[in-house]
Amino acid sequence: MLAQRRSRYHLHVAATAEDLRTAQRLRWLCFMARHRPADDPDMVDSDDLDPLCTHMLIEEAGSGQLVCCFRFLHLRDGSEIARSYSARHYDLSPLADFDGPMVELGRFCIHPGWRDPDILRLAWAELTRFVDANGVRMLFGCSSFLGADPDAHAEALAILRERHIAPRRWLPRVKAPQVFRFARVLARRRADPRAALAAMPPLLRSYLVMGGWVSDHAVVDRDLDTLHVFTGLEIGAIPAARQRLLRRAAG
């Protein structure tokens, strides 16, 4: 996978230990610094899956500032689903029968000081290249809401319940010790679609417009102060017009 240039940004695979550490530092800034403020440059977010993943970095070309990072964990098929990060929080046994290559997209984050939509577009262009090059049939991962209080995300969760719950054959089951069963709790709530979409993380919105789906419960992560839902996207279900747009962006 070659380094790519799009607009003002430079995208490349982490090739050195320093590349990976820079990504881990951005992850800490996005996921942990909100509630664990510190100026120590040695603070990083890392785990035992990092050595097994491909890490993508998007930098501002002029300054070299890292503005976005994410990682791929490539699985042969559903029989390897237990290797994923998501499987630590969800019972994914229904997906063990998925027949085809899968990729877990993880630790996706954009620097809090950057709001350029081109960053997300470039990330999806790279995802598209990776999916096509490897014959991937499903993307999945955990989509995180900032803040672990379910009430703060009720509007967005209500629209997920109405429109985006996973097909029964793939529906993840409860595994984590603390979850919010929003499909049950919010069964009578009718969401304002505009407000709900505005309250969603950008990556999750992207999944949904392409036909993605979510678990019927959210995991409450007090350690990271986040609420996350399992998110899946079957590549074959992406509308043809959307696929053409993605491939055009991927070049």
Q: For residue range 161-196, list pLDDT tens digits in order.
A: 999 999 999 999 999 999 999 999 999 998 888 889
**Per-residue confidence (pLDDT) for residue 152, from 0 to 100:** 93
CATH number at residue 96: 3.40.630.30
**pTM recorded for the entire structure:** 0.92
* Torsion sign over Cα 238, 239, 240, 244: negative
Whole domain around residue 47: which residue ranges?
4-250
Q: How confident is the model at residue 38 (pLDDT cuts 50, 70, 90)?
A: low
Contacts of 90-95 with CB under 8 Å at 24 or more apart are 90/172, 90/173, 90/174, 90/175, 90/176, 90/215, 90/219, 90/230, 91/172, 91/173, 91/174, 91/175, 92/172, 92/230, 93/173, 94/169, 94/170, 94/171, 94/172, 94/173, 95/140, 95/170, 95/172, 95/232
Average pLDDT on 23-33 reads 90
The structural domain count of the chain equals 1
**Per-residue confidence (pLDDT) for residue 4, from 0 to 100:** 54
25-39, 83-97, 143-157: least confident range? 25-39
- Compute the mean pLDDT over every residue in the chain, rounded to the nearest whole number: 92
**Per-residue confidence (pLDDT) for residue 80, from 0 to 100:** 98
